[in-house]
Structure 1
Amino acid sequence: MPAKNLEIMPLRPIGRSGPLVSRFGLGTMTFGSETSEDEAHRQLDLFTAAGGTLIDTADVYGAGASEEIIGRWAAQRTGGYDDLILATKARFAPPPNSAGASWRGLRIALEASLLRLRAEAIDIYFIHGWDQKTSIDETLSTLADFVAEGNIHHVAWSNLSGWQLQKIVSHARAHRLPVPVALQPQYNLLDRTIEIEVLPCCAEEGIGLTPWSPLGGGWLTGKYSPDERPTGATRLGEDPDRGVEAYDRRNTDRTWRILLELREVAAELVRQPGHVALAWLADRPCVSAPLLGARTVAQLSDNLAAANFVLPAEHTERLTRASAPGLPAYPYGFLRDWSELDIWRTLGTENQE
């Protein structure tokens, strides 16, 4: 395992009230599906050797296999999870007839996750998405019970719109229930949609971001081209229609303009495009720890080379300008022009559509 010459990651807080975590987290969606247990354990060893502390999983990853793999690794490790921040998610996996974010669904999900992970408690417990069939009060009250019981330490959410996040925060504050310390959205140079409403809400409420897909499903490594569909042993090579990073969905003029600027910046800095993309994201407003998701130790090792890489301000501005999604003229452009909230100007959303 390439454990020597590792750059030890700095720590930073998650939002205003969350724990300290490493600059990058380890995403484990591939464990038990695309990544074998032995390879997953080597990734965990490498990540922690580089000073990584945030390990992120979910009960649906590999139908529970990801949690089980992490649990067996922790059981063999001196100190177990003592020096780590363990995060998992619930919402989609409970048995039939059990609503995802209901009292019953979350109780079943949490007990199962604790068993698979061989953990006494979850440091950050994410609700994996909005549940329109369950009231926010029921979900938050259930999470408050988990905190009181010592089974979880912090509450968080994934994949929300701006109004959903604000509704959760407002209800939590009004009823003295746990306020989310983190949000886990998709966020990268190719998809900055959260900057319209979600990110400003996080800035206003002191919520940290742990973005997934920081490299856009591999697009920001520069390995794809506009005139050749991907093939071979890559995510899009095996499934070009895969999710939000599907080849036909992202094969656009805007994508190639961003990638051209990314390659030029990387060449000037003598770095790989992926390192530059990770560094840009890691230092965006509210971002606490982008999640590195890799199939192999070699891929993870490559990404960890950006552990302490900070983009010069000039290059950050170039990438921000090149990837600016723009704001619809109304109401967002109008509101930005009149807003006293500096976050919109910091985000570089000046180009309106």
Structure 2
Amino acid sequence: MKVLVTGSAGFIGSHVAIRLLERGDEVIGFDNLSDYYDVGLKQARLARFSDHPNYTHVQADLADRAAVEATFATHKPQRVIHLAAQAGVRYAAENPHVYVSSNVTGFLHVIEGCRHHGVEHLVFASTSSVYGANTHMPFSEHQSTEHPLTLYAATKKANEMMAHSYAHLYGLPCTGLRFFTVYGPWGRPDMALFLFTKAILAGEPIRVFNHGKHKRSFTYIDDIVEGVIRTLDQVPAANPQWRGDAPDPANSSAPYRLYNIGNEQPVELLTYIQVLERSLGREAKMQMLPLQAGDVPDTEADVSDLISATGYRPEVSVEEGVAAFVDWYRSYYRQ
């Protein structure tokens, strides 16, 4: 089928685009190649598949309404995987406006394109950050997410609510995916694993927040991609059994679903660092710091709904995943 992938030069988007092309789909990639981080890395990701005969690239900004509308009108995608966003939790303190422009206004342009061009299914990226102040573990899609702790999380919560309204008003099938701490080859330079690896190889100290005591459901990129592809193929239907007097946040009377995608085995940050040290063959110099504002002490993914709907469970261990990242990093940066 013909699939529009926004953020196709991004970490997750580039991996998803390759998987779709490998299975024979036609992909329209949409990315503005922003300079939030190394544009050269984004171009290198694109170079892995940009000359594929079933790939077409559109370089434009989601906030450009005319460009998004033209993309839908020209290419007429059957399904859409919306991964483009202003990423990063802490950058919002410096530039909050870009988060709303990209993550809210941009999302509106995409979902309007889906509505007016008969798209069969919109799959969009959300985040485990929407669980915010909730401390009940593991995080379940059936729990409340009314207390986000960062602007980034708030914009993703807004996406979930906007998608539900379009599913209800226009019958647009929508699936939101809450990603849990994604890592792996071709990752983002602002993420912990990338920063730690760069610093350790340079003999520089790494900043370890919360003294390394918090836990995360670190999720390898291949597990994320598999979840995205499987949910793309599962178009949600309206649920006539849904009860408005006892509403379930994870589904609806509308064709709308939410799923966590994360490793079920949370790992303490200090353990994660030890796995990285073994893969690099070097010890880290650690600067221990308190928990950062906006960070949550722990995350743990309940993926029972994902397993039930798709038959897939994220399974790559941090030992396997970190080793694969280190191999890629050494090769890419010739170290």
Comparing both structures, which one devotes a greater share of its residues to strand? 2
TM-score of the pair, normalised by structure 1: 0.33
